[in-house]
Amino acid sequence: MAERVIYAMYDDDDVVKDAAKKLVANGIHIRDIFSPFPIHGIDPIIGVKHTRLGIVAFFFGLLGLALALFGMRYFMIVDWPMNIGGKPNFSLLENLPSFIPVTFEFTVLFAGHGMAITYLLRNKTLPGMPADNPYPRTTDDRFVMEIFVSDNEQFSIDDLHEKIKATDIIQLEEKDYKKIK
Amino acid sequence: MEFQISAKAKKVIFGLVGVGLALFFIGIFLDDSDQSKTRIFSNLLINGLFFLFISLGALFFLALQYATETGWSVAIKRVVEGVASYVLLGGAIVVAIFLVLTFTDGGYTEIHGHHLGHIYQYFDSEIVNHDKIIANKAPFLTKGFFWGATVVYMAIYYMFYLGFRKRSLREDIEGGTKIHFKNFAKAAFFLVLFGYTSSTLTWHWLMSIDPHWFSTLYGWYVFSGMWLTAMVSIMLLVLYLKSLGHLQVVNNSHIHDIGKWIFALSFLWSYLFFSQFMLYWYANIGEEVIYYRFRFDNYKYIFWGMFAINFIIPMLILMSREAKRNIGILVTVCFIIILGHWADMFMLVTPGSMGEYGHIGLVEIGLFLFFAGVFAYWVLNTLTKAPLVPKNHPYLDESKHHDI
């Protein structure tokens, strides 16, 4: 049997926030909220964990730093020692100041790009990937809550519907959950 | 008003001042070297400027918040004003030190008929007459120019601080947006003036200690340190006031934001430190690298130690979100940065004035504690004079609901 999911549609970000607060206070678990823009402060309400993207960025930064230093050591010290302005050209450590700008840029480049690519991969939103928002209007002016029936088995279906309808919704729909990706 | 300096705080502050003075005098008594006079002047200048710069950084930050019409910082505005208020006392102290140095021709010591150990060599005509490089830098390196510029700087800072403070207190009573927009215009004007004067004042007051040497990045470098130490002081004060139960409207997000400033400004300072160093290191021109060469040879541990402390500790410790919301970590890092930047100021003054004889001993520690006590008392005393949270600022409500 396919999983049943309730979609509740709203037309304002503050309304959806208040509704989410009320529903969560009633013990209803909200799986996700689809919105055209980030709604400030919604994450703690529906219990989304804080992002770990910063940790990813840190390690990508470290990778960039290491790569830049290894690269500079190979290009400028080992493979073809370059004498620029009489700077010590057989030692990475003594010549380090001249490699710092490159190392810094590489660190930033890797941290930035690594973070962006990780984000797109994790969200499955790389260019060309199919959209998985249930209602196309959530990219325009609608806000949709996704509530799984299986997450809220302590309530009967009718009870659930009634509780959700008590908030300022515009539309409520229950259907089979269709996994897009 | 609502905040009073507690008896315990008074005891700690008077203790600091007393212990500081005692250490200072013991240090002078024990120091019978030829450098003791220069050492006293150097330390007065280091601490005078270090704490004046904290208040200038706060004054700048205050103007920045007005000019950018920032909402979140309204809740901590009185704390920023409190730190900035030290400009009144700190400016007077620094001017007094300058007066003494002027009348003693740079504070030299006469050894075997030679004038040695000046703070400002160009105050002494004996030196200027035999030093073509300094003589060629006239009229910039002269007493007259120095004083003209100093008077202008002090007048600007006094005037704008008093103006901001007056309007801030009047806003509490009157409300409305008239004062807000006046502050906006005045702050924008102040930022322009501060942009020039913060750079040039470091040439007069600090860079001219090494009169043969110059650096175009110097002003920014010192300014980034000013701003950073100001943010650190603001953070410590906010945490202190919160621990006493004041500043209820300041929440974790405000503290997180001040923490971000400390983190970012530590990077700005390190960036400018390294930029200045790398350009000289790369060009490797004799009369320029001598400045760094001298510090490497004679102050290796303080010089690299303070760079490591001021760069690596804030970077690694304050990087994560949780650290910027953890009071224990913040207080520790703040105190480390204060010490690190005091060492930075030590490195700006001492090698130029005392040559290879500079070191950190009782005189240095004592005078730092003394000034820290005076600074803390002055700032806390200002905080008692007005409500800790402004009453009628147009963005007060936004600040109360600050959430990141």
Number of domains in chain B: 1
| Residue of A14, A45, A89, A100 best to disrupt the B interface, most CBs of B under 10 A | A100
Q: Is the pLDDT of residue B252 over 80?
A: yes
pLDDT digits (tens, 9 = 90+) for B93-105: 999 999 999 999 9
Residue B270 in any domain: the answer is yes
Residues B244, B248, B252, B258, CA torsion sign: negative
Residue B381 in any domain: the answer is yes
pLDDT digits (tens, 9 = 90+) for A84-115: 877 877 888 888 888 999 999 999 999 999 99
Comparing CB atoms, the residue among A40, A54, A87 nearest residue B321 is A54
Q: Tokens 């004054």 correspond to what residue?
A: B59
- The mean of the pLDDT values for chain B is 93
pLDDT in tens, chain A (181 residues): 678 899 999 999 999 999 999 999 988 999 999 999 999 889 889 988 888 999 999 999 999 999 999 999 999 889 988 888 778 778 888 888 889 999 999 999 999 999 999 999 998 888 888 888 888 889 999 999 999 988 888 888 888 888 888 888 898 888 888 877 6
Tokens of B378: 């002055």
Inter-chain touch B282–A100, beta carbons under 8 Å: no
Q: Please give the model's pTM, rounded to 2 decimal places.
A: 0.92
User: Which residues of B68-137 form beta strands (DSSP E)?
Assistant: 109-111, 114-116
Query: Which of B 7-66 lie inside 8 A of A, CB atoms?
Result: none
β-bridge partners, A34: A144
B75/B254 Cα distance (integer angstroms): 8
B263/A158 Cα distance (integer angstroms): 52
**Residue whose C-alpha is closest to residue B357's, from B30, B50, B111, B36:** B36
Domain extents for chain A?
4-50+138-176, 53-123
How far are the Cα atoms of B324, B342, B370 from residue B16, in angstroms, in the given order? 28, 17, 6
Which amino acid is residue B306, in one-letter code?
M
Q: Which residues from chain A sit within 8 angstroms of residue B321, using beta carbons? A: 50, 54
A38/B138 Cα distance (integer angstroms): 60
Comparing CB atoms, the residue among A40, A50, A97 nearest residue B278 is A97
Taking the Cβ of residue B278 and every Cβ of chain A, the question of whether any pair is shorter than 8 Å is answered with yes
Q: What is the mean pLDDT of residues B208-218?
A: 92
Comparing CB atoms, the residue among B274, B319, B321 nearest residue A100 is B274
Q: Is the pLDDT of residue B190 over 80?
A: yes
Determine the pLDDT at residue A81.
Answer: 87
B229 and B337 Cβ atoms separated by less than 8 Å: yes
The minimum CA-CA distance between B161 and chain A, rounded to whole Å, is 36
Q: Which residues from chain B sit within 8 angstroms of residue A85, using beta carbons? A: 282-284
Residue B2 in any domain: the answer is no
Helical H segments across A73-165, by residue range: 96-123, 157-165
Measure the CA angle with vertex B149, ends B165 and B369; round to 5°: 60
Inter-chain touch B320–A100, beta carbons under 8 Å: no
β-bridge partners, A5: A148, A175
Q: Is the pLDDT of residue B167 over 70?
A: yes
Measure the CA angle with vertex A106, ends A100 and A110; round to 5°: 150
Determine the pLDDT at residue A177.
Answer: 85
Q: Is the pLDDT of residue B165 over 90?
A: yes
pLDDT digits (tens, 9 = 90+) for B12-51: 999 999 999 999 999 999 988 888 999 999 999 999 999 9
Confidence of residue B145 (pLDDT cuts 50, 70, 90): very high
Inter-chain touch B403–A97, beta carbons under 8 Å: no
**Residue whose C-alpha is closest to residue B240's, from B356, B376, B350:** B376
Per cent of chain B over pLDDT 70 is 100
Inter-chain touch B282–A98, beta carbons under 8 Å: yes
- CATH T-level topology, domain A4-50+138-176: Alpha-Beta Plaits (3.30.70)
Residue B330: domain span: 7-391
Burial A124-157 (b: 16+ CB within 10 A, else e): eeeeeeeeebbeebbeeebbbbbbbbeebeeeee
Confidence of residue B238 (pLDDT cuts 50, 70, 90): very high
